[in-house]
Amino acid sequence: MAEAAVLDKDLLRVRDLHAWYGESHILHGMDFAVAEGEVATLLGRNGAGKTTTLRAIMGIAAQRRGSIRFGEEDLIGLPSNRIARRGIAYCPEERGIFASLTVEENLLLPPPVRPGGMSVEELYELFPNLAERRRSQGTKLSGGEQQMLAIGRILRTGARLLLLDEPTEGLAPVIVQQIGSLIRTLKRKGFTILLVEQNFHFAATVADRHFVVEHGRVIDRIRGDEIEGQLGKLHDYLGV
C-alpha cells in the first residue's frame, strides 16, 4: 500500500527502457522514477547513456522499447511533437539556440502546450540580460546567456517536466551558481526537473535524488541528503 501511494506521486516513471542508434544498443533497461515537484539527476560518465535517456523520453531519434509513463499515459510510441504537447520540455546539451532567430524569436519559439507557463515579462525579469539583447542574433550571446535563453524559452510553454542536459557544461563558476539558484527557484515554482550532470558537486546542491547511470542502466540510487556520505562511492562510479 505504501508503495502504491509513492507510485501515485510519480510524474515520470521509466521502466525497462532500451534504446538503439542504428545497430548500437545504448540503453539496456533504464529504471527510475521522478516524483512530482522533485529535482532528480542522472549522474554518470561520458557515454553512459544519460543524454540518450533524455532523448528517448522526448522521443527524439533513437529507436526505443520499454515503458515511459508520464502521468497516466505511456509515451513510448509517440512522436516527439506529441510528447512535447503532453507537457514535457527539453533543453539539449548543445543548447540549440537558433542562429537565424533573434533572442526574442528564440524565446517565443516553443509554442505553449498547457496553461500556466511563465509570461515573457516574468522571463525578462528573471533574465534581465536577455531583455537587453532581445533584438540580437541568438547565437551572438555569451555561453551563459545562451544557456539562460535555452532554459528560459521552455518555461513559457506550461510544461510540467523539464529535461535539462548538462546546463552547467563549459560555464564559469559564477554562472554555474546562477543556474543552481535558477533550478532551486524553478523547483519552488513547482516544476519537476530531470537533470543530466557530470558535475556531482553541482548536482548535490540542487537535487533531491540521484540516479547513477552506467552502460545504459541505473546502477545506484542516492537520496540528496545522503550524498555527502557517499562521495567515495561516487568518485569510483564517475572515475574522478
**Residues engaged in binding other proteins (CB under 8 A):** 58-61, 79-85, 89-90, 92, 96, 98-101, 105, 108-111, 113, 154, 157
Look at residues 189, 166, 193, 196 and name the one whose alpha carbon lies nearest to residue 12. Answer: 193
DSSP 112: P
Beta carbon of residue 55, minimum distance to other proteins (angstroms, whole number): 9
Task: Give whichever of 56 and 222 is closer to other proteins, judged by the CB atom.
Answer: 56
Cα 158 to Cα 191: distance, rounded to the nearest angstrom: 10
Beta carbon of residue 175, minimum distance to other proteins (angstroms, whole number): 22
- Residue pair 99/120 in contact (Cβ under 8 Å)? The answer is no
Task: Give whichever of 35 and 78 is closer to other proteins, judged by the CB atom.
Answer: 78
Task: Give whichever of 87 and 224 is closer to other proteins, judged by the CB atom.
Answer: 87
Task: Give whichever of 99 and 174 is closer to other proteins, judged by the CB atom.
Answer: 99
Beta carbon of residue 90, minimum distance to other proteins (angstroms, whole number): 5
Strand order in the sheet with 161-165: 88-91, 161-165, 192-197, 39-44, 209-214, 217-223
Q: In this structure, how many other beta carbons lie within 10 angstroms of the beta carbon of residue 22?
A: 7
Beta carbon of residue 168, minimum distance to other proteins (angstroms, whole number): 20
